[in-house]
Amino acid sequence: MTLTTYTVHFHPGDIVVQVPGGVTLSEAAQLAGLDLNQPCGGQGRCGRCAVIVDDPAARDASGPRSAVRRRSTIRLSPEAVAAGYALACQTVVEGDAWVTVPAQQAIERRLTTQKAAARVEAPFDYDPRRHQPIQRYYLRLDPPDLADQTDDWSRVTRALATHGVANPEVSLPLLRDMPRVLRALFSDGKDEAEPAEDQAPDISAAGAFRWHDTTEPWQVTAVVSLDAWDRPQGPPQLLALLPGDHTARNLGAAVDIGTTTITVWLVDLESGEVVAQASDYNGQIARGEDVISRIIYARKPARLIELQELVVGTINRLLQAACQKVGADPQEVFKVTVAGNPTMIHLFLAIPPESIRLEPFIPVVNYAPTVRAGELGLAVNPQAVVDCLPGVASYVGADISAGVLSARMDEAPELTLFIDVGTNGETVLGNADWLITCACSAGPAFEGAGVEHGMRATTGAIEEVWINHETLEPTYRVIGPPGEKPRGICGSGLLSLLAEMLVAGVVDKAGNLRKASASGKDGAPPRNREGQHGPEYVIAWGAETADGRDISITEVDIDNLMRAKAAIYAGFTVMAQSVGVDLADVSHMLIGGSFGQHINVEKAVQIGLLPDLPAPAHEAASEGGDASPWDRFKFLGNTAIRGAYMALLHRDVRAHLNDIARKMTYLELSANNTFYDAFMSAMFLPHTDLGQFPTVKAALKR
Amino acid sequence: MTLTTYTVHFHPGDIVVQVPGGVTLSEAAQLAGLDLNQPCGGQGRCGRCAVIVDDPAARDASGPRSAVRRRSTIRLSPEAVAAGYALACQTVVEGDAWVTVPAQQAIERRLTTQKAAARVEAPFDYDPRRHQPIQRYYLRLDPPDLADQTDDWSRVTRALATHGVANPEVSLPLLRDMPRVLRALFSDGKDEAEPAEDQAPDISAAGAFRWHDTTEPWQVTAVVSLDAWDRPQGPPQLLALLPGDHTARNLGAAVDIGTTTITVWLVDLESGEVVAQASDYNGQIARGEDVISRIIYARKPARLIELQELVVGTINRLLQAACQKVGADPQEVFKVTVAGNPTMIHLFLAIPPESIRLEPFIPVVNYAPTVRAGELGLAVNPQAVVDCLPGVASYVGADISAGVLSARMDEAPELTLFIDVGTNGETVLGNADWLITCACSAGPAFEGAGVEHGMRATTGAIEEVWINHETLEPTYRVIGPPGEKPRGICGSGLLSLLAEMLVAGVVDKAGNLRKASASGKDGAPPRNREGQHGPEYVIAWGAETADGRDISITEVDIDNLMRAKAAIYAGFTVMAQSVGVDLADVSHMLIGGSFGQHINVEKAVQIGLLPDLPAPAHEAASEGGDASPWDRFKFLGNTAIRGAYMALLHRDVRAHLNDIARKMTYLELSANNTFYDAFMSAMFLPHTDLGQFPTVKAALKR
The string of DSSP codes covering A262-309 is EEEEEEETTT--EEEEEEEE-GGGGG-SSHHHHHHHTTSHHHHHHHHH
Measure the CA–CA gap between B603 and B687, rounded to whole angstroms: 14
Check B301 against A179: CB less than 8 A apart: no
Check A300 against B194: CB less than 8 A apart: yes
CA torsion A239→A241→A242→A244, rounded to 10°? 140
Check A300 against B152: CB less than 8 A apart: no
User: Beta strands B461-467 and B488-489: pairing type?
Assistant: parallel
CB B365 within 8 A of CB B661: no
| Strands laid side by side in the B237-243 sheet | B134-140, B219-225, B237-243
Average pLDDT in chain A: 85
Most B CBs within 10 Å: which of A187, A362, A375, A437, as the mutation test of the B interface? A362
Check B301 against A199: CB less than 8 A apart: yes
Instruction: Return the pLDDT at A110.
Output: 33
Instruction: Return the pLDDT at B534.
Output: 86
Check B230 against A371: CB less than 8 A apart: no
Check A299 against B194: CB less than 8 A apart: yes
Q: Which residues of A touch B371 (CB under 8 A)?
A: 172
Please say if the pLDDT value at position A323 is more than 90: yes
Instruction: Return the pLDDT at A115.
Output: 39
Measure the CA–CA gap between A28 and A40, rounded to whole angstroms: 18
Check A176 against B350: CB less than 8 A apart: yes
Out of A200, A355, A393, the one facing B301 most closely (by C-beta) is: A200
Instruction: Return the pLDDT at A47.
Output: 65
Q: Which residues of A touch B157 (CB under 8 A)?
A: none
Out of B145, B150, B235, the one facing A231 most closely (by C-beta) is: B235
Question: Of the ranges A53-57, A679-683, B6-10, B477-481, which one carries the lowest mean pLDDT score?
Answer: A53-57
Please say if the pLDDT value at position A25 is more than 50: yes
Q: Which residues pair with A10 in a beta bridge?
A: A15, A99
Out of A175, A364, A369, the one facing B152 most closely (by C-beta) is: A364
Spell out the alpha helix ranges (H) of B512-585.
555-578
Please say if the pLDDT value at position A168 is more than 60: yes
Out of B200, B364, B668, the one facing A153 most closely (by C-beta) is: B364
Spell out the alpha helix ranges (H) of B437-554.
491-504
Q: Which residues of B touch A668 (CB under 8 A)?
A: 146, 149
The nearest CA of chain B is from the CA of A284 a distance in Å of: 19
Out of A203, A350, A368, the one facing B305 most closely (by C-beta) is: A203
Q: Which residues of A touch B176 (CB under 8 A)?
A: 349-352
Check B394 against A146: CB less than 8 A apart: no
Q: Which residue has the higher pLDDT, B498 or A186?
A: B498
The nearest CA of chain A is from the CA of B550 a distance in Å of: 41
CA torsion B341→B347→B350→B352, rounded to 10°? 90
Collapsed DSSP state (helix, strand, coil) of residue B466: strand
Quickly count: other Cβ atoms within 10 Å of residue A678's Cβ: 23
Tens digits of residue pLDDT in A70-118? 888 776 777 778 888 888 888 999 999 989 887 543 333 333 344 334 4
Spell out the alpha helix ranges (H) of B18-102.
25-31, 78-82
Measure the CA–CA gap between B506 and B525, rounded to whole angstroms: 16
Check B151 against A200: CB less than 8 A apart: no
ipTM of the modeled complex: 0.79
pLDDT class of A455 with cuts at 50, 70, 90: confident
Instruction: Return the pLDDT at B629.
Output: 74
Non-local (6+) Cβ contacts of B638 within 8 A are B256, B263, B592, B593, B594, B596, B597
Check A175 against B203: CB less than 8 A apart: no
CA distances from B685 to A382, B559, B602 (A): 58, 11, 14
Check B350 against A200: CB less than 8 A apart: no
Collapsed DSSP state (helix, strand, coil) of residue A491: helix
Out of A151, A363, A391, the one facing B365 most closely (by C-beta) is: A151
Residue type for position B452? E
In terms of Cα–Cα distance, which of B674, B262, B243, B322 is closest to B449? B262
Collapsed DSSP state (helix, strand, coil) of residue B693: coil
Check A145 against B203: CB less than 8 A apart: no
Most B CBs within 10 Å: which of A142, A151, A182, as the mutation test of the B interface? A151
CA distances from A46 to A76, A87, A117, A212 (A): 10, 9, 22, 52
Q: Which residue has the higher pLDDT, A446 or A380?
A: A380
Check B172 against A351: CB less than 8 A apart: yes
Out of A360, A368, A391, the one facing B146 most closely (by C-beta) is: A360
CA distances from B168 to A231, A424, B223, B242, B335 (A): 10, 32, 11, 16, 17
In terms of Cα–Cα distance, which of B478, B400, B489 is closest to B436? B400
Non-local (6+) Cβ contacts of A79 within 8 A are A626
The nearest CA of chain A is from the CA of B358 a distance in Å of: 10
Tens digits of residue pLDDT in B164-211? 999 999 999 999 999 999 999 864 333 343 334 434 333 333 433 344
Check A178 against B146: CB less than 8 A apart: no
Check B352 against A668: CB less than 8 A apart: no
Spell out the alpha helix ranges (H) of A417-554.
491-504
Collapsed DSSP state (helix, strand, coil) of residue B305: helix
Mean pLDDT value of segment A31-57: 67
Check A354 against B391: CB less than 8 A apart: no
Collapsed DSSP state (helix, strand, coil) of residue A98: strand
CB contacts < 8 A (A, B): 187
Percent of chain A with pLDDT over 90: 54
Q: Which residues of A touch B301 (CB under 8 A)?
A: 198-203
Instruction: Return the pLDDT at B33.
Output: 72
Residue type for position B573? T
Most A CBs within 10 Å: which of B362, B667, B670, as the mutation test of the A interface? B362
Query: What is the mean pLDDT for each group of 10 consecutive residues in chain B (702 residues)?
Result: 78 80 85 71 71 79 83 75 85 89 50 49 81 97 94 97 96 96 68 39 37 74 96 91 94 94 94 92 87 92 96 97 95 97 97 94 96 97 97 88 88 93 88 94 79 85 89 89 90 92 92 68 75 90 92 93 94 94 92 73 92 70 58 84 93 95 90 89 94 89 78
Whole-prediction pTM value? 0.77
Task: Search chain A and give the residue with CA nearest B204.
Answer: A301
CA distances from A466 to A110, A695, B250 (A): 21, 19, 73
Out of A192, A194, A351, the one facing B176 most closely (by C-beta) is: A351
Please say if the pLDDT value at position A191 is more than 60: no
The nearest CA of chain B is from the CA of A292 a distance in Å of: 13
Residue type for position B527? R
Instruction: Return the pLDDT at A530.
Output: 87
Q: Which residues of B touch A172 (CB under 8 A)?
A: 349-351, 369, 371, 375
Phi and psi at residue A537, in whole multiples of 5°? -120, 125
CB A22 within 8 A of CB A8: no
Q: Which residues of A touch B296 (CB under 8 A)?
A: 192
Check B349 against A172: CB less than 8 A apart: yes
Most A CBs within 10 Å: which of B40, B151, B338, B668, as the mutation test of the A interface? B151
CB A449 within 8 A of CB A289: yes
pLDDT class of A203 with cuts at 50, 70, 90: very low
CB A589 within 8 A of CB A419: yes
Residue type for position B441? S
Measure the CA–CA gap between B648 and B181, rounded to whole angstroms: 28
